Structure 1
Amino acid sequence: MKANAPKRKVFDAVDVLMGEEEVRNNNDIRELVIDSIKPFHNHPFRLYEGERLEDMVESIKEHGVLNPVIVWKTEDGYEMLSGHNRQNAARLAGLKKIPAIVKAELTEEEAYVYVIETNLMQRSFTDMEISEKAAVLQERYDKVFYHRKREAILKELKALEGKELKGGHGDHHLKNRDAVGAEYGLSGSSVARLLRVNHLIEPLKDKVDKGSLGMKIAIQLSYLTKKEQEMIYDAMREMHVKLSQHQVIKLREHAGELTPGRVRQYIKMADPNKKVPVVKVPARLIQQYFSKIEPDRVDQILEEAIREYFEKREV
């Protein structure tokens, strides 16, 4: 906050919506040290970057944190439920403390409702990454039997945020993937595919979000154990390859008996349905770069250059 600016209460937005006394009676609001709040242990959303983050940092520098974050009191400290981006921006703005509503008596499922629903208040479902959509659908699909408690949480969040809920949240009696899909304009089969993303390790989720791992391949990998997925991810990085449908099916066929060596063996196996491209080096490049180089060295140079190229693309 600027030194010459009038001091502004950080609880203004909450006070206006609910009344200061009601907020203080129903929620334990404290000033917590920013670094004392850990990210939610199963937080599926990515933090803001670029211009959106810069705008939030500037706003906090000018006005402070107007809406308190919501944290979960655990045995060893606090976990963030709502406010990961505000915490990050406040830290970048130079703040040492942040206003927080502290929740103590929550189950794991109730805590996750806070995490999912507050993100849906801020962003459209269609704007989310694939892995983020998968997390939202998982919460809908697996935890709908908590709909009564969820309704109470949503009512509270709506008042705190002062925003309408997005995505047809009025119907909490969702029973199957078709009903969940209807909430977001998805078919039941699309929901089923997205739900499989939740079974991937984080590095593979990241590759799905970036488009470097196709959904069909990702779904096949999702049926393998976390350890097997880690072995495959490490092999993909070291060998600089993208998996084909043939390779991933072969890996699935040997689920439960995969080792790093076997993973590399199956990845090296040629796809019988895939034509290997014939690569020709243009004459002008040969003349320019290889005219004075021994033939035995040419293959080595090409291999090193290609490896370096794909390593840079992987970063």
Structure 2
Amino acid sequence: MKRENIQLSSYDDIFGGNDSEVSGTPNGDVVVQIPLGELHAFEGHPFKVKDDEDMEKTVESIQEFGVLQPAIVRPDGDGYEILSGHRRHHACEIAGLETIPCIVRDLDDDAATILMVDSNLQREEILPSERAWAFKMKLDAMKHQGERADLTSSQVGTKLRSDQLMAEETGVSRNQIARYIRLTNLKPELLEMVDDKRIAFNPAVELSFLNETQQQDLLDAMDYAQATPSLSQAQRIKKLAQENKITAEGMGIILSEEKKQDLDRVTLKHDTLKKYFPKSYTPKMMEDQIIKLLQQWQKKRDRDMSL
């Protein structure tokens, strides 16, 4: 479908704002235009706002169609705090807009935290660090809400634990939520490696049990060995660390060991192979020819052994 065939209206056009400063939504929320300078990020907001390709697309969409989904904010002493819409707010700044449509809700800290997390967890791509801190913030808020309810409620009965309620709401198991929250114990440098997929999730959970000094030793060891830990290596490092039997040098020795996947892999450098093949051969053609030669060698070897 060609871009010029797509026809979208701005949020005010859809809901009858007629370019006024106040409009509404079908469910009764009031939408107001708020100057960008009066809005600021939610305190401790864990979701990253990057000037990447997706941001460029958002800016282009806003420039062409306007802001189709209003931000959700709450008033505070310095203007308004953004609960949902941090990326849209930044895109509006880049696009040169002066205001952004917002739904204003008067929420306490716990309710605001839960709304902020829930609205952002709906995104398709979420980094492990974002999910980890979001789960922690929401669980802490839910626990606090439960504590306040206990102080005012005289009802007797069995209440669901906050993590169980959260698991039901998010569709993520209690155990997996706890494992994500473990990642918040990692030093920022290690957590960034998890986001960049240099350290896998499961090893990262094991490494989160190391204290701050041990994690720094691990960073030094990884830099020296130019390697990151596999799951089994991370488990060994964790066990030794909990027994206070590990040093940066010991971590380096573990990291320098050949991993199972390395033992199962044979690597031939392109420079080594290209002298045996015509220049026109691609790596795939080289691989196919090597397999054929190996098959011929195996057949000859089997014949020789049968004589």
Conserved? CA contact 1:71–1:103, under 8 Å: yes
**Residue-by-residue CA offset, 1:270-304 (whole Å, 9 max, x unaligned):** 46785786999879659x9xxxxxxxxxxxxxxxx
Supply the distance in 2 between the matched residues of 1:76 and 1:231 (Cα, whole angstroms).
42
Q: Report the counterpart of residue 307 of structure 1 in structure 2.
A: none
Structure 1 unaligned residues grouped into runs of 5+: 150-172, 289-315
| Pair 1:110 & 2:111 matched | yes
* 1:252 CA drift (Å): 5.9
Secondary structure, counterpart of 2:185 in structure 1: coil
Matched, 1:129 2:124: no
Which structure is higher in RCO with an 8 Å CA cutoff and minimum separation 6? 1
Q: Establish whether residue 31 from structure 1 lines up as the match of residue 34 from structure 2.
A: yes
TM-score (norm: length of structure 1): 0.57
Is the 1:247–1:269 Cα contact (8 Å) retained in structure 2? no
The separation in 1 between residues aligned to 2:245 and 2:112, in whole angstroms, is: 36
Contact persistence 1:33–1:98 (CA under 8 A):
yes
Task: Note if 1:138 corresponds to 2:123.
Answer: no
Task: Classify the secondary structure of the residue corresponding to 1:196.
Answer: helix
Which has the larger displacement, 64-73 or 36-45? 64-73
Say if 2:33 and 2:99, in contact at 8 Å, map to a contact too.
Answer: no
Shift of residue 83, structure 1, vs aligned partner: 1.0
Give the counterpart letter for 1:113 in structure 2.
I
Deviation of 1:45 after TM superposition, in Å, equals 2.3
* Alignment-derived partner of residue 304 in structure 1: none
- Show the 5 A alignment for 1:229-308: 229-230=215-216, 232-233=218-219, 236-237=222-223, 239-244=225-230, 245-246=232-233, 249-250=236-237, 253-254=240-241, 262-263=247-248, 265-270=249-254, 285=272
Structure 2 partner of 1:192: 178
Structure 2 unmatched runs, 5+:
1-8, 149-158, 276-307
Matched AA of 2:227: V
Distance in 2, Cα, partners of 1:253 & 1:136: 30
* Paired position in structure 1 for 2:19: 8
CA distance in 1, matches of 2:197, 2:211: 22
Structure with bigger gyration radius: 2
Q: Distance in 2 between matches of 1:37 and 1:235?
A: 43
Alignment partner, residue 205 of structure 1: 191
Alignment of structure 1 residues 144-155 onto 2, 5 Å: 144-145=142-143, 146=145
Deviation at 1:215, TM superposition (A): 2.4
Residue number in structure 2 paired with 1:92: 94
* Equivalent residue for 2:200, pick from 204, 207, 214: 214
Contact 1:11 1:67 in 2 (8 A): no
Between the two proteins, the alignment pairs up a number of residues equal to 248
Aligned alpha-carbon RMSD (Å): 4.7
